[in-house]
């Protein structure tokens, strides 16, 4: 598969804006293929409105004369034909922005959209023949723009009537679920441009249709913390995803788009090979690393999927607009996701419920790191029974789709019903104060406690 138009963005002009005490409304005109790149700090909001022309964010087209509020993000808005944006912020808001002015020959966005057209051609062929659409895995080093590319391909696919099944195989970040989960969802409608992936049913009413994710709880920051457990959950997610493709003709011909965690030349290839095998991936996109691309070419040379298709590896340049998200910023992103899950966003306010629970009324389980034993039976130790303790305070727990009478293996392999937050632990009275998005009996479901995301002290004041 040949993707023309590859090339690194070379900005020819830079305009930097940092808000002052008073931030008047300004306009920004973009020529074809230009991008407006901006970073908005946590607690600040940047409002952008499309005045004329056409523009999009991550493949989702902006509606004209509609203000979009961006907060706690590092992203961009691009245009293919030129546009004018109206930009404003509240006094005291902190943000940086600049305009990148590449030509069609300089921007990798051309190669990205060419890739979309190629994938849509494969989907059209699958529709005619009744076969399965392309299953695409996006890999690359950390901070190479993998997730942004998956969102772009998803946005473009939904705009032409496709319904891709999007899979998140990155346990450090969540997709329509909290970090620490592996999830999948069908995208048949547009994504809210002001959010990463859109809204979930727990987010309350939304003008953009919500997506219904299937999530499995891993509860650790790295696949290497318990490789066998991680692969087990990926296999469970693959079975569920493949079943959805089989049952829904529209999803079947649209195929899958799979986002992965960062890999580099030092390792991570074992998990990639597992994803390729379990999801029958036939296209591997490598973003931002020739070395990783070369390794993938060698690893999958001559290999075929379970459907007898050749595995194709395609290298893509990363966008010049990709910026590094440091550990502090990403921690704030995780905390914002937890806060929004329970309390909503600036657009929708939610009212979570507080419950007092007896220790004895709860079925509590803990996710373990990789067992030290090498025998096969050690895998059953991926989770173990746990007694509520002060260590759980300020942690989020996964509520599992299982019963308290199920075995450890059944609970371990179950998908997630929702999450609760442990606000207070009273070991003397043996009581737990829990914050939940709905008023329901928690004693009927097992709760799974992991180390990721990390405890959040500031959720309940």
Residue of 68, 351, 355 lying closest to 202 (CA atoms): 351
Q: What stretches of 175-226 show up as alpha helix (H) in DSSP?
A: none
Topology of domain 109-316 in CATH is Rossmann fold (3.40.50)
351 is in an annotated binding site: no
Domain boundaries, the chain: 26-105, 109-316, 352-449
- Which superfamily is assigned to 352-449 in CATH? Pre-mRNA cleavage complex subunit Clp1, C-terminal domain (2.40.30.330)
Are 170 and 233 within 8 A, CB to CB? no
pTM over cut 0.85 = yes
State the angle between helix axes of 109-129 and 146-159 in degrees (0 to 180), rounded to the nearest 10: 50
- pLDDT for 267 equals 55
298 is in an annotated binding site: no
145 is in an annotated binding site: yes
DSSP state of 19: -
DSSP state of 344: B
Tokens linked to 198 = 């859109």
DSSP state of 64: B
The pLDDT tens digits along the chain (461 residues) read 333 333 333 343 444 444 444 457 899 999 999 999 999 998 899 999 999 999 999 999 999 999 999 998 999 999 999 999 999 998 888 899 999 999 988 889 999 999 999 999 999 999 999 999 999 999 998 888 899 999 999 999 999 999 999 999 999 999 999 999 999 999 998 888 988 887 665 555 566 666 788 999 999 999 989 999 999 999 999 999 999 998 999 999 999 999 998 886 555 688 999 999 999 999 999 998 899 999 999 999 889 888 889 999 999 998 877 777 788 888 988 998 999 899 887 777 888 889 999 999 999 999 988 755 444 444 446 899 999 999 999 999 999 999 999 999 999 999 999 999 999 999 999 999 999 988 777 778 999 999 999 999 878 76
Are 450 and 180 within 8 A, CB to CB? yes
> Reduced to 3 states, what is the DSSP secondary structure of residue 364?
strand
348 is in an annotated binding site: no
148 is in an annotated binding site: yes
- Angle, CA of 37, 192 and 196, to the nearest 5°: 60
Query: Which sign, positive or negative, has the C-alpha torsion 167, 173, 175, 179?
Result: positive
Write down the architecture of domain 26-105 according to CATH: Sandwich (2.60)
Give the number of other CB atoms < 10 A from CB of residue 152.
24
147 is in an annotated binding site: yes
E strands in 333-386: 353-358, 363-367, 383-385
Tokens linked to 243 = 């079943």
Helix (H) or strand (E) holding 150: helix 146-159
State the angle between helix axes of 269-278 and 290-300 in degrees (0 to 180), rounded to the nearest 10: 50
Preceding omega of 318 cis (within 30 degrees of 0): no
Look-up: residue for tokens 């963005």? 9
Residue of 180, 151, 136 lying closest to 73 (CA atoms): 151
Residue of 209, 279, 204 lying closest to 239 (CA atoms): 279
- pLDDT for 212 equals 80
């Amino acid at each position: 598969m040949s993707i023309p138009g590859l090339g690194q963005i070379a900005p020819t002009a830079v305009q930097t804006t940092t808000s002052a005490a008073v931030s008047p409304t300004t306009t920004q005109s973009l020529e074809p293929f230009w991008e407006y790149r901006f970073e908005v700090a946590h607690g600040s909001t940047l409002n952008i409105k499309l005045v004329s022309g056409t523009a999009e964010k991550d493949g989702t087209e902006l509606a004209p004369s509609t203000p979009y509020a961006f907060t706690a993000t590092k992203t961009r808005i691009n245009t293919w034909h030129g546009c004018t944006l109206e930009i404003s912020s509240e006094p005291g808001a902190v943000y940086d922005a600049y305009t990148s002015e590449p030509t069609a020959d300089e921007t990798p966005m051309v190669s990205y959209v060419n890739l979309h057209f190629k994938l849509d051609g494969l989907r059209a062929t699958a529709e005619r023949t009744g076969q399965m659409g392309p299953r695409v895995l996006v890999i690359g080093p950390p901070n190479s723009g993998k997730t942004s590319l998956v969102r772009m391909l998803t946005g473009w696919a939904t705009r032409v009537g496709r319904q891709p099944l999007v899979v998140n195989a990155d346990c450090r970040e969540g997709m329509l679920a909290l970090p620490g989960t592996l999830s999948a969802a069908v995208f048949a409608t547009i994504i809210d441009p002001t959010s990463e992936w859109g809204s979930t049913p727990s987010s309350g009413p939304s003008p953009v249709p919500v997506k219904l994710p299937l999530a499995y709880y891993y509860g650790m920051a790295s696949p290497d913390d318990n490789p066998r457990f991680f692969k087990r959950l990926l296999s469970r997610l693959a079975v569920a995803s493949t079943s959805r493709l089989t049952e829904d003709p529209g999803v079947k011909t649209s195929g899958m788009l799979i986002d992965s965690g960062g890999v580099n030349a030092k390792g991570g290839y074992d998990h990639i090979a597992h994803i390729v095998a379990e999801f029958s991936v036939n296209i591997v996109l490598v973003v931002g690393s020739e070395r990783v691309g070369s390794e993938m070419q060698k690893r999958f040379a001559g290999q075929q999927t379970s459907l007898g298709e050749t595995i194709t590896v395609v290298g893509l340049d990363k966008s010049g607009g990709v910026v590094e998200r440091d550990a502090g910023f990403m921690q704030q992103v995780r905390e914002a996701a937890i806060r929004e899950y329970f309390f909503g966003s600036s657009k929708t306010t939610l009212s979570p419920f507080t419950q007092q629970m007896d220790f004895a009324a709860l079925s509590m389980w803990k996710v373990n790191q990789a067992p030290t034993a090498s025998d096969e039976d050690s895998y059953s130790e991926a989770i173990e029974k746990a007694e509520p303790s002060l260590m759980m305070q300020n942690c989020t727990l996964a509520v599992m789709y299982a019963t308290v009478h199920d075995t450890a293996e059944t609970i371990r392999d179950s998908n997630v019903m929702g999450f609760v937050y442990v606000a207070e632990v009273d070991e003397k009275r043996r009581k737990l104060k829990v914050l939940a998005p709905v008023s329901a009996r928690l004693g009927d479901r097992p709760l799974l406690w992991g180390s990721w995301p990390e405890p959040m002290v500031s959720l309940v004041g």
